């Protein structure tokens, strides 16, 4: 990968009085049980504050583009960025205006009334179907409208690492029309992942969880030849256990992946470690009956929903000597207290590693915050699970590639 132009470069060129389109990842969870939805985890909002703050302090007029959820390409009040804009204003301790649309009259009015240092959040960019269109011309049309909001001297800053693996209008196409720069968050994410794919300190351990082997197959294939330990938990471990011929009851299994798992087990040898015991339940429910059983003896009618205490100790022992750790995916259904012990135990073990630990975004980052573990105990918590995995697989990230090309500058 080549060098990226940075916010430092943009500010040194002079940004006061100029409009800057800042693509952020503000896809955060909401509590919608009351009349007004509120943000329940503002980690991604806080992650973009360094870039946003520097632009504001330099006198830029910052227009934030972001998405929330999957609104099917049309306005949907359930996915409005209103609660996100409200929380952003609280964190900045200054007014943040939400435009009433993406590039229409509401957006043009809000941007047109901006003063130096002001912040406007455009409404959910996925309210416009062109954002995610597979048609290059449709995406380019929306990108042209986004760029047109800025007027003369506009610039683009990409700071939403969680979406840089998507070839979308506000991520990729707009960077072809404007001078394009990497925000502080994108820079830090890319630097960390380059460390993992370069020459990481050893021993190098990878911990993978989540539901499906198929979701992680690419990264397993890419990392297996390079890691010293690969620890597999979460729902995906049951497909590996089934591939070994063990009884897995009603646990989640991708039967079509059995041959793939057999191949991986053969190739990995002692490097791949599976759970020795699991927490099983008689139903997928917080109040289900539970018990701890050997991983190769799950009773019929029961399902594995977490790794067990012996597995946590085994994983912790394997992680203790590591000097580099990458973790992606919870060890169980951590949202339910009865099945959170495995994720907590492994997270604690990773936090105690005397080396560099990377939490690979998505559910893993959510688990860290849900379980109340301080971010500071980890070397880096990524904001982009899918983007992190695709980077480690060696795939091209369109939103990074276009930045390397420098946009229209």
Could you tell me which residues are annotated as the binding site for substrate?
25-27, 44, 67-70, 126, 166
Pick the catalytic residue: 18, 23, 44, 344?
A: 44
DSSP annotation string for 311-331 = HHHHHHHHHTT-SEEEEES-S
Q: What's phi and psi for 58, nearest 5 deg? A: -85, 0
DSSP state of 122: P
Pick the catalytic residue: 183, 362, 385, 399?
A: 362
**Quick check: helix, strand or coil at residue 32?**
coil
Distance CA 103, CA 76 (A): 16
Kindly tell me the sign of the dihedral angle through the C-alpha atoms of 335, 340, 343, 348: positive
Q: Spell out the alpha helix ranges (H) of 151-183.
A: none
Any catalytic annotation for residue 212?
Answer: yes
Q: What's phi and psi for 408, nearest 5 deg? A: -90, 5
Distance CA 295, CA 309 (A): 11
Any catalytic annotation for residue 87?
Answer: no
Any catalytic annotation for residue 308?
Answer: no
List, in order, residues 6 or more apart from 387 with CB less than 8 Å away: 161, 162, 163, 164, 165, 189, 361, 397
Any catalytic annotation for residue 104?
Answer: no
Which residues on adjacent β-strands are paired with residue 63? 21, 120
Pick the catalytic residue: 59, 73, 106, 386?
A: 386
Q: How far is CA 360 from CA 30, 52, 207, 345, in A?
A: 21, 23, 10, 17
Q: Which residues are annotated as a binding site for ATP?
A: 216, 304, 335, 361-364
Strands 97-98 and 61-65: unpaired
Kindly tell me the sign of the dihedral angle through the C-alpha atoms of 371, 372, 373, 376: positive
Do residues 178 and 156 make contact, with C-beta atoms less than 8 angstroms apart? yes
Strands 272-273 and 277-281: unpaired
Q: Which residues are annotated as a binding site for (2R)-3-phosphoglycerate?
A: 44, 126, 166
Q: Which residues are catalytic?
A: 44, 212, 362, 386
């Amino acid at each position: 990968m080549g060098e990226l132009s940075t916010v430092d470069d943009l500010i040194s060129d002079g940004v006061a009085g100029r409009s800057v389109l800042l693509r952020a990842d503000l896809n955060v969870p909401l509590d919608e049980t009351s009349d007004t939805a509120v943000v329940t985890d503002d980690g991604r909002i806080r992650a973009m504050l360094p870039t946003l703050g520097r632009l504001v302090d330099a006198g830029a007029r910052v227009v934030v583009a972001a998405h929330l959820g999957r609104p099917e390409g049309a306005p949907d009040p359930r996915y409005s960025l209103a609660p996100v804009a409200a929380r952003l204003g609280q964190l900045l301790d200054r007014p943040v205006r939400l435009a009433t649309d993406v590039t229409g009259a509401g957006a043009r009015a809000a941007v047109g009334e901006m003063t130096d240092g002001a912040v406007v959040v455009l409404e959910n960019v996925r309210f416009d179907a062109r954002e995610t269109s597979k048609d290059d011309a449709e995406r380019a049309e929306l990108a042209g409208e986004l760029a047109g909001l800025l007027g003369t001297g506009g610039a683009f800053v990409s700071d939403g690492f969680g979406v840089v693996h998507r070839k979308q209008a506000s991520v990729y196409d707009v960077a072809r029309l404007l001078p394009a720069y990497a925000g502080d968050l994108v820079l830090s994410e890319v630097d960390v992942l380059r460390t993992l794919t370069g020459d990481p300190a050893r021993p190098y351990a990878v911990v993978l969880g989540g539901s499906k082997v198929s979701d992680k197959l690419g990264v397993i294939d890419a990392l297996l030849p390079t890691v010293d330990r690969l620890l597999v938990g979460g729902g995906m471990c049951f497909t590996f256990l089934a591939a070994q011929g063990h009884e897995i009851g009603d646990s989640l299994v991708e039967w079509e992946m059995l041959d793939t798992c057999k191949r991986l087990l053969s190739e990995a040898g002692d490097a791949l470690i599976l759970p020795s015991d699991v927490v099983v339940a008689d139903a997928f429910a917080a109040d289900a009956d539970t018990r701890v059983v050997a991983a190769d003896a799950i009773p019929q009618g029961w399902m594995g929903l977490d790794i067990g205490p012996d597995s946590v100790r085994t994983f912790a022992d394997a992680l203790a000597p590591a000097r580099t750790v990458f973790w992606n995916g919870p060890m169980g259904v951590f949202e339910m207290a009865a099945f959170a012990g495995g994720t907590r135990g492994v997270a604690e073990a990773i936090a105690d590693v005397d080396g560099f630990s990377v939490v690979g975004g998505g559910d893993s980052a959510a688990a860290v915050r849900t379980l109340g573990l301080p971010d500071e105990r980890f070397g880096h918590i990524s904001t982009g699970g899918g983007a992190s995995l695709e980077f480690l697989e060696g795939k091209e990230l369109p939103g990074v590639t276009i930045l390397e090309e420098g946009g229209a500058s």
